[in-house]
Amino acid sequence: MFNLDFSPDREKNPLILQRADPFIYKHTDGYYYFTASVPEYDRIELRRAWTLEGLANAEPAVIWRKHSDGPMSWHIWAPEIHFIDGKWYIYFAAGQVHDPWYIRTWILENSSQDPFCGEWKEKGRLEAEWDSFMLDTTVFTHKGSLYAVWAQKSKERTENSRLYIAQMYNPYTLKLPQTLLSVPEYDWECNGFKVNEGPAVLIRNRKVFITFSASATDASYCIGLLYADENADLLNPVSWKKAKKPVFTTDESFGIFGPGHNSFTVTHDGKDDVLVYHARPYAEVNLDMALYDPNRNTLIKRILWDKNGFPVLQKNSPVL
């Protein structure tokens, strides 16, 4: 009952329609938990199922709605759900009605063992080293330490967003200063806008991999890759290398346009890693209105690995 079809036909068909920035977490209770940006950008939904395919028809529950004014009142984006030290946390980006692009990372906490029960409390804003456009925060534990990775506009304001990493004192406090991981530098990172965003972490084959999304959110949107040795100092920028070419781009033959903002999960038996991402089924979209086009759908595909232990996300797409 837990066999998942990863045939080409399955991989080009959406798992869930009109859900961008998808995040799937498989918990120790056996459930898959799913959250994502909804087209209205006004709430955070959560759904769960015993299987990945079951998420398609799982009933979503609204666990939080935007404020009517002030912080967290506009552009509710890219929620992620994590279970850390016995509590549930949701990290998400939000602006405000009178300043829609005042985007910052905010955190919800729930101490119930069941995230559909208990109370989701607002823990406030995640404070970075400086105050600027900040979104797409993800967290991970490595060798006993909790880390956060996120996208943020630099002090110099020379790009739309760069990627940064920092350790955390706890799930809602960064241990500063932060470390710069990646700057948009290649052409594929600068189409339409100079963007590095949507980081996701996968630790395999004695390496720490961070995928990220680049360029504008039209058909030029794509996935890049950073990697470091698992024993390296992750806060030292020298530890990280960037693939010179994207590892997942638009594939017209599959009807997948602008793939990006991914997360990772595993098959039910834990034997295979799964890429979770969004894409549109068409190329034509007004760049100025791309974020308000609702048809970024959630898709999944099994991850293959090359002989050097690197993830292969797209056929014939080079890693190095």
Tell me phi and psi for residue 35, to 5 degrees: -145, 160
CA dihedral 237, 276, 45, 151 (to 10 degrees): 20
pLDDT for position 12: 75
pLDDT for position 313: 95
pLDDT for position 2: 43
The residues of the chain scoring below 50 in pLDDT are: 1-3
C-alpha R_g of the chain: 18
pLDDT digits (tens, 9 = 90+) for 242-254: 999 999 999 999 9
The Cβ of residue 17 has, within 10 Å, a number of other Cβ atoms equal to 13
pLDDT for position 1: 36
Hey, which residues are catalytic here? 21, 197
C-alpha distance from residue 269 to each of 48, 52, 91, 266 (Å) = 17, 12, 27, 8
| Whole-angstrom distance, CA of residue 11 vs CA of residue 312 | 14
